Amino acid sequence: MEPSPTRRRSFVVRAPSSASGLPAEKTSSEEAVAWATALREHRRATAEPGVSWVHCVVVGGAVCFLLIMVQLYSQVTSMASFVQPDRQMRPTRLDVAVDLATLFHGGVQTVDFEKQVVCAVCHGHGYDQAAGLRKCPVCGGAGMVVHEQRFGHRVHRVRHGCDRCSGAGHLPNRVCPICHGHGHHHASASIAVPVAPGMMHGDEILLTGGGDAQRHVATGDVLVRLVPSASPTRFVRRGDDLETIMVISLAEALTGVATYMEHLSGDLVPITTQDVLHPHAVVRVPNQGMPLRHDPQR
């Protein structure tokens, strides 16, 4: 019996369809180049968004870091020269003597006094900045010292500011010879005090920014109080009225008075009466008193 012939499997090689997006094995060289170019452009288009996103993140982080560092640097450098609005030198109180004529006419009164000023040599630092600072030998630059107190078997440690460096932790190598390390000193000054017509003795005038000065603290004000001067005057003020004493003869008291009186304004005010005047009688002359503060023309 003859053996049956062996069956062999066959296979067919087919070219890929156009839907797969890949070129067939048997294509021309132009089609292969076009396919490679298209594939490269496709990869580049899909890769660019990822690269730009990473680039934006890196650049944004660097910018944020720089902004934070600039802000911290500005805060640190500005703390030394920052003047807190709630810290201000105490006002300087002055008593200025003015006479009644000055209160009547008004004017400007110049006052000489002494006040605290910032040292112009060291600019308020108290030492030569070029010479620098050195570490305090007592506290070692900490600004604090520790003292031990023994109570029986226990030891208590107390911390307080260093007396040598006043808690600063450093000492200047060269102290300013003008202010002797204080940063300020007293100097003579003058200030103009405006006196309005009609003001009274005891009134206070506030002059802003003319008082004591110190580094890192707002300049103080000057508070001026008007007090009577020792200059003689024939008038006495009673509120807004002016009083004076006039000596007359017996004949004028019986027959009447017709005379003139020199006023604070410099004018001669007529004084006339027709009635009999008794001792300590009062004669009123209208509209010849002190000027009113709210209306100096009256």
Q: Using CA atoms, how far apart are residues 167 and 161, in angstroms rounded to an integer? A: 5
CA distances to 5, 169, 174, 179 from 127, rounded to whole Å, are 117, 15, 6, 9
Mean pLDDT computed over every residue of the chain: 80
Highest mean pLDDT among 50-54, 114-118, 263-267: 114-118
Query: Is the pLDDT assigned to residue 24 strictly greater than 60?
Result: no
103 closest CA partner among 221, 285, 235, 253: 235
Q: Mapped to the 3 state alphabet, what secondary structure does 230-260 carry?
A: CCCCCCEEECCEEECCCCCCHHHHHHCEEEE
- Confidence tier at 195 by pLDDT (50, 70, 90): very high
Q: Measured between alpha carbons, how far is residue 208 from residues 140, 156, 203 in Å?
A: 43, 50, 16
pLDDT at 15: 46
* Res. 71 pLDDT band, cuts 50 70 90: low
Of the candidate ranges 5-14, 29-38, 104-113, the one whose mean pLDDT is the lowest: 5-14
Whether residue 80 has pLDDT greater than 80? no
Q: Which residues pair with 214 in a beta bridge?
A: 217
Tokens found for residue 215: 């580094």
Please state whether the predicted TM-score (pTM) of the whole model is above 0.95. no
What's the pLDDT score for residue 44?
64
- pLDDT band for 109, please (50, 70, 90 cuts): very high
pLDDT tens string 206-262: 999 999 999 889 999 999 999 998 888 889 999 989 998 888 889 888 888 888 988
Residue pLDDT, tens place only, 130-176: 888 899 998 888 888 888 877 777 877 888 888 888 888 888 889 99
Of 239 and 37, which is predicted with more confidence?
Answer: 239
Residue 125 pLDDT exceeds 70: yes
CA 81 – CA 145 distance, rounded (Å): 28
